[in-house]
């Protein structure tokens, strides 16, 4: 059980370290590709992910992860590409 003062210090520490703005985003291709593959169904989401992945949303691609060779399953939904985006220096689109 924690004391009230410990909870207060946790809250104050949290407010100092969290600005409310993410500095990293982690996406799976299995999520965003459905919008890019069928842009006519949700054009606003297709445009959002297209811009975000192209570096026009205040983030840039920092890393991409995907299994290679024999480790890559035939069914892509079992192991989608993972994309890590980081906030750009200016953070502006």
Q: How many domains does the chain have?
A: 1
**The tokens of 59 are what?**
């983030």
Tens-digit pLDDT profile for residues 39-52: 999 999 999 999 99
pTM, full prediction: 0.64
Confidence band for 32, pLDDT divided at 50, 70 and 90: very high
Instruction: Output the 3-class SS for the chain.
Output: CCCHHHHHHHHHHHHHHCCCCCCEEEEEHHHHHHHHHCCCCCHHHHHHHHHHHCCCCCEEEEEEECCCHHHCCCCHHHCCCEEEEEECCCCCC
Tens-digit pLDDT profile for residues 11-26: 544 455 556 788 999 9
The answer to whether residue 6 sits within a structural domain is no
The answer to whether residue 26 sits within a structural domain is yes
Domain range for 47 is: 21-87
The answer to whether residue 4 sits within a structural domain is no
């Amino acid at each position: 059980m924690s004391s009230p003062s410990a909870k207060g210090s946790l809250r104050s520490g949290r407010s100092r370290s969290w600005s409310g703005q993410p500095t990293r985003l982690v996406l799976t291709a299995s999520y965003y590709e459905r919008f890019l593959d069928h842009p006519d169904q949700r054009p606003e989401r297709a445009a959002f992910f297209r811009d975000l992945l192209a570096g026009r949303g205040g983030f840039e691609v920092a890393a991409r992860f995907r299994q290679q060779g024999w480790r890559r399953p035939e069914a892509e939904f079992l192991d989608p590409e993972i994309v890590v985006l980081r906030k750009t220096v200016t953070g502006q689109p």
